[in-house]
Amino acid sequence: MNNMIELCYCNGSVLVWNVEDAHRLRSEHRIVGNFIGCLPSLPRQDQMLGLPMELMTEEVFHLVTRGIVKIVEFKQLYHPAEEQHKQKRDDMHKASFSDQEISFKEERIKQLKQMADKIIEGKRRKTNGIVDGDLVLQEEIKKIPKMSEDLMMIQIFTRPFWKCQGEAADYTINQTLRCRVFSDLWEKGYYITAGEKFGGDFLVYPGDPFKFHSHYIAVCVDEHQLLTPYFLIQKGRLGTNVKKTVLLCSVNDNGEIMYQSLNWNGK
Amino acid sequence: MLSAKELLDLRSRKAHPRSLPTMPPKDFVPTHSAEETATINAIVEEKMTYLKEERAERRNLLTKADWLPQEKVAKIEKKLGGGWDVYGFDKNGKTYLQPEEALFLIELSKLELWYSGTPVSVQQAYQILLVEDLCSTLKYRVYSHLCRQGYRLVRRLLFGSSAAEPSDYDCIPHLLASASESVLIQFSDLEFLPESIRNRESTYVINKKDFLHFCVDREEVATSISLASTNNPLFSGKTKPLLLGNFIGDPYYANDGLYNPTDEELNQIDEDDLQISYDVYSPGRHFRKSNPGPPCFMLAIAEWSSNVPSLLCLERFKRRCGPKTVPLVAVSGAGSGVSFYQLKGVVSPM
């Protein structure tokens, strides 16, 4: 399956470094993930973060079991770059500088041409005679200084510029109750994100979280867990306060996922 | 890989970056209409254009640093661009960066990190800098979250010197210098006391151990403090303060407080203890690397899946923080962003 998306295993996290893949995961597979890097154009704000996108364990489990992704590790990136890559980088750097010098000059020429009339007029007044417009322009163009090295724009690559091959990562996830509940809710057509900030396991949305509020706070409970009144009140109150329904999720003896919603009637 | 034209466009855009996309108000129930789907796709597409942008910076604003894998720090060759009075730590005339600091500066397009003769990509930086024993992904999530908002985070070394500097405790030297375990203070001339407390006790017993909870290396504190070295103005008058901070008078520590751990309990070092990872200083121009002063917060970082710390653990944490600093715990996990909590003692009105 060559169309499998590659997820990058890195220091205990599973990350997506490719925007196209992040887009595909969201549009084709309803997997939202969580961006954790600074946004390149606006790094000092928290409203919108950028690559890499980190995935929850349950999201990874879901994608792996359905054969949508494979988890790879780029072991070579722990070590310094190979000589050929270093050389390539130096060559690219030099080439970029000459290209930028050329672009810089072209830009200046364009500016001069726009101001051509004024320049020619100025020369005419000085010499008080006939002036060859083209010659004047050529002289000005010759005067354009070379772009200073200081002004060169250097790119900080998000991903290595050479095509890195990843090896299959030694990363296994055990199926937990949370994984099962995640996949079941996903089967039902929901979008699911992390729920810890709301005191639960997942937040469950009827549509893309960009456009819709979540309806449920999913709380996974072991089938044989004794639910104390204290627990029920805690979760019930939580739901009411944030206007969401708390969904207690568990697996019964037949292996089916059971859902129980909590409706708080008290004041 | 950006072309020259794209790079130069980026340079001119940097002065006026486009603002974030405005999000339409959220709805509650989807209609699944074609119009709705189109709106959602448009939002997603727009967000993707921001995510696709690459980083680039002018050569004279981009600082180079070399990653030193043995020392686990990045060494700066030459500082370019502004702001270097707040980043990094200085040693022998050179500036060094901790791994999380280096990564954050790369993400800000302020730093180009070189590893053995060639610059690293952001992906490679995440891989080599966020290794568990250097700075985990969990720690970095919290670190970058606070730094983006302008806070300065300074690594707290275990058994380190960051906060409990002798100058904070200028008033205690004469107590610590004595060999005995406690000091008896008797006011012979009550006129020296402020009027509000003149009709209180004239004799006080101060226990040495009450001042030493926050420093691990007791010998170090006792010998390095000298009364002569203090320049605290409170010492220049006739009345000298006995104690700094709110250890006495803080109801949480009063003898009739709700929670009073024993000395053995407080002096234990538990595995479960909240390790203080960073000293956090508030955003603003007042921060100076050379003399940061007491931090606003001392930050411990935990995972969502970890247990709630015991009261004893929190008590130890609080005492380690000292009087001017608030103990703060940050919690994070894959997928969930960062949340914070702190526990404060309050006086019951009863």
ipTM (interface pTM)? 0.90
Examine the domain organization and report whether B200 and B286 are in the same domain: yes
Q: Are residues B155 and B126 in the same domain?
A: no
Residue A19's nearest CA partner among B51, B37, B304 is: B51
Based on the fold, state whether residues B339 and B200 are members of the same structural domain: yes
The per-residue pLDDT for A264 is 77
Answer whether B8 sits within 8 Å of A157, measured CB to CB.
no
Q: Residue B6: pLDDT above 50?
A: yes
- Whether residue B306 is contained in a domain is answered as yes
Please report, for the domain that includes residue B101, its CATH number.
3.40.1170.20
Q: Do B127 and A35 touch (CB under 8 A)?
A: no
Q: How far is B28 from chain A (nearest CA, A)?
A: 6
**Is B21 a member of any domain?**
no
For residue B173, pLDDT over 50 is answered with no
Residue B264 sits in the same domain as residue B322: yes
- Looking at B85, B103, B135, which one is the last position of a domain? B135
Residue B262 sits in the same domain as residue B328: yes
Predicted confidence at residue B207, as pLDDT, reads: 65
B139 has a pLDDT exceeding 50: yes
> How would residue B253 be classed by pLDDT, with cut points 50, 70 and 90?
very low
Is residue B231 domain-resident? no
Q: Please spell the DSSP secondary structure of B26-92, one letter per residue.
A: PBSS----HHHHHHHHHHHHHHHHHHHPPEEEEGGG-EEEEEETTTTEEEEEE--SS-TTTSSEEET
Nearest CB to A77; choose among B56, B127, B150? B127
Tell which of B85, B102, B135 closes a domain: B135
- The whole-angstrom separation of Cα A97 and Cα B266 is 62
**Residues B74 and B107 occupy one common structural domain:** yes
Whether B134 and A28 have beta carbons less than 8 Å apart is answered as no
pLDDT tens figures, B275-332: 778 889 988 777 877 777 788 888 999 888 888 888 778 877 877 777 777 888 999 9
Residue B345 lies in a domain: yes
Q: What are phi and psi of B83, to 5 degrees?
A: 90, 5
Report the chain B residue with the minimal C-alpha distance to residue A57: B334
pLDDT of residue B176: 47
- For A194, which of B137, B141, B335 is closest by C-beta distance? B335
| Residues lower than pLDDT 70 in chain A | 1-2, 266-267
B278 or B168: whose pLDDT is higher? B278
Whole domain around residue B202: which residue ranges?
Answer: 151-159+193-214+258-349
On whether both B90 and B206 belong to a single domain, the answer is no
Number of other residues whose CB lies within 10 A of the CB of residue A168: 10
The whole-chain average pLDDT of chain B stands at 76
Cβ B316 vs Cβ B266: under 8 Å: yes
Please tell me the predicted confidence (pLDDT) of residue A223.
81
Same domain, B209 and B292: yes
- Domain shared by B209 and B310, yes or no: yes
Query: Cβ contact (<8 Å) for A153 and B58?
Result: yes
B97 & B210 share domain: no
**Nearest residue in chain A measured CA to CA from B118:** A86
CB contact under 8 A, A212 and B26: yes
**Which pLDDT value is given to residue B235?**
52
Residue B227 lies in a domain: no
| Assigned domain for B228 exists | no
pLDDT at A173: 87
* B63 vs B288, higher pLDDT: B63
Facing A46 at nearest CB: one of B59, B130, B145: B145
Q: For residue B278, what is the domain's CATH number?
A: 3.40.1350
**Is position B105 within any domain?**
yes
What per-residue confidence (pLDDT) applies to A246?
94
pTM: 0.81
Residue A58: C-alpha distances to residues A23, A33, A135, A175, A198 (Å): 19, 11, 71, 9, 18
Cross-chain residue pair B334–A213, CB shorter than 8 Å: no
Query: Closest chain B residue to A43 measured between Cα atoms?
Result: B108
**pLDDT value for B349:** 62
Count up the domains in chain B and report the number: 2
Q: Which of B67, B122, B130 to mutate to test the interface with A (most CBs of A within 10 A)?
A: B122
The pLDDT tens digits of the residues spanning B65-114 come to 999 998 889 999 888 888 887 888 888 888 999 999 999 999 999 999 99
Considering the domain boundaries, does residue B238 fall inside one? Answer: no
- pLDDT bracket for residue B228 (50, 70, 90): very low
* B203 in the same domain as B264: yes
Chain B residues within an 8 Å CB radius of A93: none
| Interface size between A and B, measured as CB pairs under 8 A | 230
Q: Are residues B308 and B269 in the same domain?
A: yes
* Chain B residues with beta carbon closer than 8 angstroms to that of A56: 334-335
